Amino acid sequence: MYLDRGTRPPITPQLAIRVAIIGGVALVLFAIVFFRLWYLQVLSGDRYRAEANNNRVREITVLAPRGRIVDRNGRVVVDNRTSYAVTVSPDKLPKAARARKEMFGRLGAILNMSRKEISSSVGKQLKTLPFSPAIVKQDVPTPVYSYILENQSTFPGVDVEQVALRKYPYHSVGAHLFGTVGEVTRPELNDRKRYLGVRQGDRVGQSGIEYSYDRYLRGRDGANRVQVDALGNYRAQLAARAPQSGQQLRLTVDFDVEQAGQQAIGGDQGAFVAMDVRNGEIRALGSNPSFDPNIFAKAIKESDYKRLSNPANGAPLADRAIQGLYPTGSTFKLITATAALQGGLITPDTVQYDGGSLKVGGITFRNAGGAVNGALALRKALQVSSDVFFYRLGLDANGAGDGHLIQRWAARLGVGRTTGIDLPGELPGLIPSPEWRNRLFKKHLTDRPWSVGDNINLAVGQGDVQVDPLQLAVAYSAIANGGYVVRPHLGGRVETSDGRVIQEFGSAARRKLNIRPEFRQAIMDGLHAAANSPGGTSYPVFKDFPIPVAGKTGTAQKGAGRADQSWYVGLAPYPNPRYVVVATFEHGGFGVQTAAPAVRRIMAVLFGIKNKAGSSKGSTAGVNPYG
C-alpha cells in the first residue's frame, strides 16, 4: 500500500492570505523588538550606563552649623554648641527583625527610652532619608555615650556623633527678639523660593530674627557620597563635601540695653521698646513673661509648647512689643494734639477751660482723679495731662469734616497699622472708626452704633483702641525727628565669622509728614514740661535725671474690675531727641509709678549713666497719676 500524493488539494487563496498576514505581523513585531534593542544598546547605552552607576551612589547630608548672631558691639547673643547624639546607621543594623528589636531594647534601657519609641522614631527618619544616620537621642551625657562606645559589639549599628545645636547663652533675655529654630514643616518645604535647598528634617528659623534672616544664618549643608549595591546596602565611601556654616548677623541691638529692659519690666506682663528716632534702628525690644529658646534647639515636647502658649500662664511665646494690643491711655494725646493742630481745631495757644468734667449727651466725662486744671493751652494740657482738654478735642474732631480727623492722623503717624519691622507675626491693631463700629452693629456683634462718646474716648486712648508699644515709638519718633515716619529694623549687616562685612542692611526710606514745625515744637515743649517741670505727670521720676527728657505717662482703664495698664513714652535728649523708649505693664496701674521708672532704668543704660535717684516710685503729690 502506498500514498497517492497526486490526490492532495492545493492551498486555497484565503489560506494563503492569512499565512501572509500572520507572517507580516510576526516580521513587524520582530523588527520592533530588534530596533528597540538596537536603540537601547547602541544609541542610549551610555546614558543608561550612567544612570545605573548613579543608582549605586547615594548622598548623605551633613548639616551645616547656623551662623552666629551678635549685637551692635559684637557680643555673641546666639551661638552654637557641640552636642553628642546617639545615632543608628541603616547599613550596619542587624538584618534580622528579632535581633534588631533586642538591640533597640538594650539601647532603650540606657537612654531611658522604650524599644517601641526608638523603633518608631528610627523608622520614620529612615523612611524620609533612607541612607542617612537616624538620630535616636540628642544631648546625651558623657557617661552614656562613653558606655555605648566602649560596648560597640553590644550595640551594632549604633554610633555617637557630634552635632551643632543652637545656643542662647542669655536664656530668656531677648528671647522674642532672637527667636527660635525648629524642623522645617511641609508647607515651608513647598515654598521653594524661601527654602531653596532645604530638605525634610532640616532645622530652620521659626520665629524672631532666626526666621527673618534664616537664609543668611542657615549655611550650606555638606554631603558624603557613598556606594551601595543593588539592594541598597552600603559598600564604600566615595567622597565628602564639608558643610559651610551660616553667615554671622550683626544686629542694631545693644545687649546691655536689652538686658536692662528685660529686668525693668520683670514681675508683670508687659513690653518695652528702645529705638533710634532718626532711622528706626532698634536698640532693645522685649516682652514679659519670656521663655528660654534653648528648649527649641532640640525637638520641643508638646507639653512644653502648650505651657508656653497657654494664656493662663501669660502666653510667654507672645511678643507683646509687636502683638500686645492695648488701650494706650494718655500717651495717645500726642496723636490727638497733632490732629487738632493740623486740622485747625486749635492753635498752640488756644485756651480752654478745664473745670474737671465735660457733659455730652447726658454722659459726664471727668478728669482722672477728679482734678480741676482751670484755663490752659496745649503745652500745659500735656504737662498736667488734662483729660477735659482732650475730651473737647475729641468732641470737636467728631463733628469736623468727615469725622475722621483723629483716625486719619493716627494712621499717618503709624498707629493702628503694622510698622514693617523685620520680625514675623506683627499685628496691626485697631483705631476705631464710625464705619468699624457700625459694621459690627449691623452684624449684631456690638450693642450700639458709633456715637460721639467713642471719639471722645479715642482722644484719650480709651475705648476700643488697640495699639502696641512699637507703634507708639514710631508715632513719637515722627514728632521728635521733624515729621519723618521711620520703619523699625533689627538687622544691621551680614558678616563673615571674623567680622568682615558681606552685606549692609540700610535703613528703609522714611515717609515725610507735613507737620508744621511750630506745632511739633509746642507738643515737644509740653512733653518736656511733663517730665521736668513741677506739676508734670512724670516730674517725680525725671526731675533729677542728668539727661533732659520729654515724655508722656498713660494709665489706661480696662474696666470689668481689671487693673489699669501703665504706660510711659520718653524721648531724650531734649530738645533734639535721639532715642524713644516705651514701656507698658498690663497690671501696672499709674504710669508715673510703674512704667516711667522702667523707662528711666532703660535710658540710664542707653546713655551710659548711673541710675541713682528716681529709679523707685516717687511721690505723686500735686500731679495727675492717671495721666
**Do residues 86 and 149 both lie within one domain?**
yes
Distance CA 366, CA 382 (A): 16
For 160-191, how does the pLDDT look when each residue is reduced to its tens digit (9 = 90+)?
777 788 999 999 999 999 999 988 888 888 88
Of 274 and 235, which is predicted with more confidence?
A: 274
Mean pLDDT of the chain: 86
12 belongs to a structural domain: no
Confidence of residue 618 (pLDDT cuts 50, 70, 90): very low
**Do residues 225 and 358 both lie within one domain?**
no
Cell numbers linked to 493: 549687616
454 belongs to a structural domain: yes
- pTM (two decimals): 0.83
**Do residues 360 and 509 both lie within one domain?**
yes
293 belongs to a structural domain: yes
**Do residues 342 and 217 both lie within one domain?**
no
22 belongs to a structural domain: no
Residue ending a domain, among 222, 246, 270, is: 246
For 549-578, how does the pLDDT look when each residue is reduced to its tens digit (9 = 90+)?
999 999 998 877 788 899 999 999 999 999
Distance CA 542, CA 585 (A): 19
What is the rounded average pLDDT of the residues 153-161? 80
Confidence of residue 46 (pLDDT cuts 50, 70, 90): low
**Do residues 230 and 324 both lie within one domain?**
no
**Do residues 435 and 575 both lie within one domain?**
yes
Residue ending a domain, among 246, 264, 293, is: 246
Closest CA relative to residue 79, chosen from 319, 249, 281, 258: 249
What is the rounded average pLDDT of the residues 347-376? 93
CATH number at residue 265: 3.40.710.10
pLDDT of residue 611: 55
Distance CA 38, CA 47 (A): 14
Distance CA 512, CA 60 (A): 54
Per-position DSSP letters for 336-376, written without gaps between them: HHHHHHHTTS--TT--EEE-SEEEETTEEEE-GGG---EEE
Distance CA 293, CA 165 (A): 12
Closest CA relative to residue 286, chosen from 308, 313, 254, 327: 254
Confidence of residue 263 (pLDDT cuts 50, 70, 90): very high
353 belongs to a structural domain: yes
For 114-151, how does the pLDDT look when each residue is reduced to its tens digit (9 = 90+)?
888 888 877 777 776 666 677 788 778 888 877 877 77
CATH number at residue 108: 3.90.1310.10
**Do residues 96 and 227 both lie within one domain?**
yes
**Do residues 242 and 259 both lie within one domain?**
no
For 475-509, how does the pLDDT look when each residue is reduced to its tens digit (9 = 90+)?
999 999 999 999 999 999 999 878 889 999 988 88
3 belongs to a structural domain: no
pLDDT of residue 29: 80
Of 65 and 465, which is predicted with more confidence?
A: 465
Query: What residues make up the domain containing 106?
Result: 64-167+213-246
What is the rounded average pLDDT of the residues 51-70? 69
Pairing assessment for the beta strands 248-251 and 69-70 based on DSSP bridges = parallel
Closest CA relative to residue 421, chosen from 570, 252, 241: 252
Domain count, the chain: 2
**Do residues 235 and 350 both lie within one domain?**
no
pLDDT of residue 615: 43
57 belongs to a structural domain: no
Of 207 and 185, which is predicted with more confidence?
A: 207
pLDDT of residue 89: 79
pLDDT tops 50 at residue 22: yes
What are the angstrom distances between the C-alpha of 273 and each of 114, 488, 596? 47, 10, 13
What are the angstrom distances between the C-alpha of 441 and each of 325, 360, 447, 449? 22, 22, 7, 6
**Do residues 263 and 400 both lie within one domain?**
yes
HSE-up (13 A, CA, CB side) for residue 63: 24
**Do residues 223 and 333 both lie within one domain?**
no
**Do residues 231 and 259 both lie within one domain?**
no
566 belongs to a structural domain: yes
What are the angstrom distances between the C-alpha of 151 and each of 105, 140, 378? 15, 16, 81
